[in-house]
Structure 1
Amino acid sequence: MPSPYVIDAQGIAKQFLVKESGQRVQALHGIDLRVREGSLTALVGPDGAGKTTFLRLVAGLMRADRGSLNVLGVDVGADPQAVQDRISYMPQRFGLYEDLSVQENLDLYADLHGVGREERQQRYQRLLHMTDLTRFTERPAGKLSGGMKQKLGLACTLVRLPQLLLLDEPTVGVDPLSRRELWEIVQQLVQEERLSVLLTTSYLDEAERCAEVYLLHQGQMLAQGVPDDIRRQADGLCRIAVPPAGQPARTLQARLLQEPQTVIDAVPQGGEVRFIEQRDADPQRLRSLLDGAPVREVASRLEDGFMVLLRAKSGAEQVDVEALRGTAQAAAADEQAVIEVKDLVRRFGDFVAVDRTSFAVARGEIFGLLGPNGAGKTTTFRMLCGLLPASSGSLQVAGVNLRHARAQARRRIGYVSQKYSLYGNLTVRENLQFFGGAYGLHGAHLNRRIEQVSRQFDLAGHGGAPSGQLPGGYRQRLAMAVGLLHEPEILFLDEPTSGADPLARRGFWQRITALAAGGTTIIITTHFMEEAEYCDRIVIQDAGRILAMGTPQQVREQAGGVGSSLNMEQAFIEIVVQAREQANHAAGAPA
């Protein structure tokens, strides 16, 4: 009788040798995992949990040290090619050829997989329709937006119809609209073609759509079951608190997270704070933390259960909030505008990437730049950092005209890029010394700043470790420490939590909240709409133009009306879709 499982893993263990140190790292410890045929299954867990390692084992790209792993009824360790002929695997950095067109990329992957001409034409028609790329077949892949590239990568992966699809973080770096479209494609394939899918994801709302969820932590299986099984871990513990009028939700959230013995987790949500209390929390201590904020109970979600399980295993990260507040040189009470943008334009040939954008940012404000992939926000961001000249308009940063004195302005700003841009072969301390020298810091002053940021970002015990070997969360901390070495007035963060799990994002935002409270101005781009709730104000851009600007609540109300119950992701999609429909209508209307 054939097995109902397309993946049947029993006792899987995998170890890696770290060449530089000669030490062995255990990536997976005796993992049991089964995926049913025709089902959608999620593998979730913090950074470094072993998710990608497991996918690569299933794909036959490496062999397990111990245990049995059967894929589609085949021992993948003994015959990886027999498995690879029947599956498709889309890694995090899928290899599109950017100089080739959409059609040429599809043709290349069809050739590589030996897909016949008649079969490929049928597949192309369906895949282009599903991904909405039919109009773009002649466009070079390098000219596509991030979301369109992900959809093309998925189409190339599916040029041949596999029996099993492996997806490693398919929606990392993708805006909410493109994320929704990608999920519609995956769910359609599961429902209509009975495709079996195993995916990893950092988005717990995505995992909630799956038939079964496996939760990994440090290479061990922490929990498994249908989403409701994991969600129930937080039943009866979830609350919503309403902060006092005029107080940002992130302030109350940061205070709650400083008491891990009382509060398991807290996150801003719709201008309020959603939190999970400890089962044995002291009611009097909790009331003191809430400081009179009204509270109501709410139903638990998968992410709540996820956080309960993770906190029980690893505990809460302790962030030195007071030390971070001391890094800013200016007072938070000073509301003077430190960034002023008027009629900013950036052209690339005939293409207008940013079209007459205007806004101002006050000192100590957290200001979010949001928008679909290709909307112009990254171009705006790069102009604000002095990395790209404006075509026209006025741009003042820290009192300096960026069109005429970019180098002078850059000395007063810090920058953390989306892609890890430090030197992986240098140790943590060597990176700090190198970049400190680049910022003009020397001698005792540089050493003092290195000690300060190492303490603030909990890097003190990692100074001698090569930065390229650090877990993702620590690499992010090091990038933040480097960006703040010279005590900048303004910190620019370009999708800093892309691919980070909820645990890492909480610690990151505790640090950002403390920096803003100390007077540092924060400009951030993000595709996590949850993170827009931390911002004092946000801008939503598309096609180079501002569609919405204001507090998160004002933007939600713009999308759904006063008293709207839309969350930020729903509001974002509504605003972008409405604007595009209006633009399409205007373009098609008679002159």
Structure 2
Amino acid sequence: MSASAGNTSNNGAVRNGDPPLRAIGLCKTFKVATRTLTALDDVTLSLTPGVVTGLIGPDGAGKTTFMRLAAGLLAPDAGSIEVLGLDATRDGLAVQSRIGYMPQRFGLYEDLSVQENLDLYADLQGVSPGERPARYARLMEMTGLAPFGRRLAGRLSGGMKQKLGLACTLVNPPRLLLLDEPTVGVDPVSRRDLWAIVYQLVAQQSMSVLLSTAYLDEAQRCAQVILLHQGRVVDQGPPAHFSDPLAGRTLRVTGAAATRRRLQSALARRPGVLDAVLQGESVRVVMQEGAALDCAALGEPVRCESVPPRFEDGFVALLHGDREAIRPPQVRVTPTFTGDAIVVTDLTRRFGGFVAVQRVSFAVRPGEVFGLLGANGAGKTTTFRMLCGLLAPSSGEVRVAGLDLRRAAARARGRIGYMAQRFSLYANLSAHQNLAFFARAYGLAGARAGERIAWALDAFELGDLAGVESGTLPLGYKQRLAMAAALLHEPDILFLDEPTSGVDPLARREFWSRINALAEGGVTVLVTTHFMEEAEYCDRLAIMAAGEVLAIGTPAEIKAAAARPGEAPPEMEEAFIALIQAREG
């Protein structure tokens, strides 16, 4: 959906300098079964013209509902929303003809080529044949899709699909662009490219952009940020407005590398600590106002130093009070095998003439958290599926939990837990029914099944939701349920395929607290992720490109390998991009 440029006013006109979007007292509720869910509650806000405004908040905050109201796709229960001088409720079709809107699952036609998708959206948006060549050329240059005009959309990588979706949205350049989490599931290289496109549009066309995102580093790049929580506006302002009040309250605590998980867990329980997350070899800590950290009381030698606050610290500090402290699951696994948990030797996978994975080799130690990273199309998902026994290799060897996947695949799968990216839950079954189904799938029955289901509901704090259909659960609770299901049979090894994609930062913290507890209990974890801060939580990483392993090592070693001579090691995302670009020449 896109828009024509130009000033419009109340029967169509808006003056330059006026807010491109203004909401007053906006309310919206939804009926889900017998429950009434409040998505937006008395939301009043306006956008600054000609800048990128970030819309952030936890799962269920109301971000997507607000976007859909602004696009004229929903009607509010109360209040009003004005877009480019038009009432979005009364004049929805007119609004849709003037804005660009890219929802989370943009409607590409996967059986059409890149060029055919552009032509289709140009037809829908009324772009004349004479205007198309210049616009197409510009969009193809911006997105880097020029060499792929004849490729079917279904054969593009995830990042390229997002770029094509954005190009289709921009075939008719709008005054206001609404982007609903456009970078979810996109690798850091493609994410950076998408941001470059957005800022190019703002700079060259004075376009106003409202962008919702689960990445807080992206919010920090915005000129303005609107924080939603439980359907209400918590605060609004430039990113520094959120981070500056925490000056003097953010610390880096460093101890022995081998004990960093235990250090993080101990710090999270200290009085006055709002937040404690792993960051490389250290733990980043945010303190409550007026509180001080007694490092000597931690019981081991550590170094504490003050660091500047960042936007993410402000986000967590504002919302932390509404989250209850979690109880990480208590797990103690005695491996059923000797040696490494996963051994990969010369692993190769071909699809016809295309080599997706080429002679990949690495090993994962028992109780290790091992990250598998790569740009979209790098071969990591194919590798991951082969390690899980879901896809047969063309050649090479995979041993999981001491078993050869070619010869003992069924026995090996009995020793692993698998959590898919979309969680693989049955939406019309309750949480309890899902657990019962997976218990049977893992061969659990009778009293043993009942015991493990009771453990899962308690350990993941799902007891109050046991009878709720999983399809109606917030994303963070679906994630809990999926992990609980994967652990029912007490596996030695847990495979996690982008488990936090689209999940809000607070839910991601809860998730990784559980992962840390599992690793401390002896569970081996292999995880794929596009969140580079999550890569810091891993003991070791393998970075893939074009089906090959580019680098393998600890996060510190990966960053050191990407550092320029005489310079400090970069952040993980910069290191990832540098390694990929070096591979591409």
- Taking structure 2 as the reference length, what is the TM-score of the superposition? 0.95
Distance 1:486 1:468 in 2: 23
Which residue of the partner structure matches residue 585 of structure 1? none
Which residue of the partner structure matches residue 584 of structure 1? none
Which residue of the partner structure matches residue 258 of structure 1? 269
Distance 1:233 1:202 in 2: 22
Which residue of the partner structure matches residue 330 of structure 1? 335
Gapped regions of structure 2 (runs ≥ 5):
1-13
* Cα offsets for 1:249-306 (capped at 9, x unmatched): 33322222234x421112222321111012243644x542374311111111111111
Shift of 1:580: 0.8
Shift of 1:405: 2.4
Is 1:6 equivalent to 2:20 in the alignment? yes
Which residue of the partner structure matches residue 11 of structure 2? none
Distance 1:340 1:276 in 2: 39
Is 1:297 equivalent to 2:300 in the alignment? no
- Equivalent position SS for 1:62: coil
- Equivalent position SS for 1:324: coil
Shift of 1:443: 0.9
Partner residue of 1:307 out of 316, 322, 337: 316
- Equivalent position SS for 1:455: helix
Equivalent runs, 1:415-494 vs 2, <5 Å: 415-494=418-497
- Equivalent position SS for 1:330: coil
Distance 1:358 1:13 in 2: 55
Instruction: Tell me, yes or no, if the aligned pair for 1:10 and 1:31 is still in contact at 8 Å.
Output: yes
Code of the residue aligned with 2:38 in structure 1: it is Q
- Equivalent position SS for 1:239: strand
- Equivalent position SS for 1:223: strand
Which residue of the partner structure matches residue 204 of structure 2? 192
* Cα offsets for 1:462-515 (capped at 9, x unmatched): 101111111110000000000001111110000000111211111000000110
Code of the residue aligned with 1:318 in structure 2: it is I
* Cα offsets for 1:197-244 (capped at 9, x unmatched): 001001111111111100011111111111111112322200111122
- Equivalent position SS for 1:36: coil
Gapped regions of structure 1 (runs ≥ 5):
582-591
Distance 2:258 2:430 in 1: 44
- Equivalent position SS for 2:137: helix
Which residue of the partner structure matches residue 213 of structure 1? 225
Shift of 1:409: 1.2
Code of the residue aligned with 1:573 in structure 2: it is I
Instruction: Tell me, yes or no, if the aligned pair for 1:233 and 1:308 is still in contact at 8 Å.
Output: no
Shift of 1:245: 4.4
Taking a change above 3 Å as real, the CA distance of residues 561 and 127 of structure 1, as seen in their structure-2 partners, is closer
Distance 2:564 2:282 in 1: 18
Instruction: Tell me, yes or no, if the aligned pair for 1:252 and 1:290 is still in contact at 8 Å.
Output: no
Which residue of the partner structure matches residue 288 of structure 2? 278
Equivalent runs, 1:48-447 vs 2, <5 Å: 48-247=60-259, 249-259=260-270, 261-281=271-291, 283-284=293-294, 287-289=296-298, 291-312=300-321, 314-319=322-327, 321=328, 323-326=329-332, 328-330=333-335, 336-447=339-450
Instruction: Tell me, yes or no, if the aligned pair for 1:6 and 1:36 is still in contact at 8 Å.
Output: yes
Partner residue of 1:556 out of 547, 559, 575: 559
- Taking structure 1 as the reference length, what is the TM-score of the superposition? 0.94
Code of the residue aligned with 1:475 in structure 2: it is K
Of the structure 1 ranges 274-283 and 183-192, higher mean CA displacement relative to structure 2 is found in 274-283
- Equivalent position SS for 2:227: strand
* Cα offsets for 1:422-477 (capped at 9, x unmatched): 11111000000111111111111001000111111111111011111111100000
Code of the residue aligned with 1:296 in structure 2: it is E
Instruction: Tell me, yes or no, if the aligned pair for 2:372 and 2:527 is still in contact at 8 Å.
Output: yes
Instruction: Tell me, yes or no, if the aligned pair for 2:280 and 2:537 is still in contact at 8 Å.
Output: no
Distance 1:68 1:220 in 2: 15
* Cα offsets for 1:526-573 (capped at 9, x unmatched): 000101111111000000000000111111111116873311111101
Instruction: Tell me, yes or no, if the aligned pair for 1:398 and 1:409 is still in contact at 8 Å.
Output: yes
Distance 1:370 1:277 in 2: 32
Is 1:578 equivalent to 2:582 in the alignment? yes
Taking a change above 3 Å as real, the CA distance of residues 560 and 283 of structure 1, as seen in their structure-2 partners, is closer
Of the structure 1 ranges 23-32 and 261-270, higher mean CA displacement relative to structure 2 is found in 261-270
Distance 1:335 1:80 in 2: 64
Distance 2:146 2:171 in 1: 15
Instruction: Tell me, yes or no, if the aligned pair for 1:258 and 1:318 is still in contact at 8 Å.
Output: no
Count of aligned positions: 570
Distance 1:404 1:283 in 2: 54
Code of the residue aligned with 1:403 in structure 2: it is R
Is 1:32 equivalent to 2:11 in the alignment? no
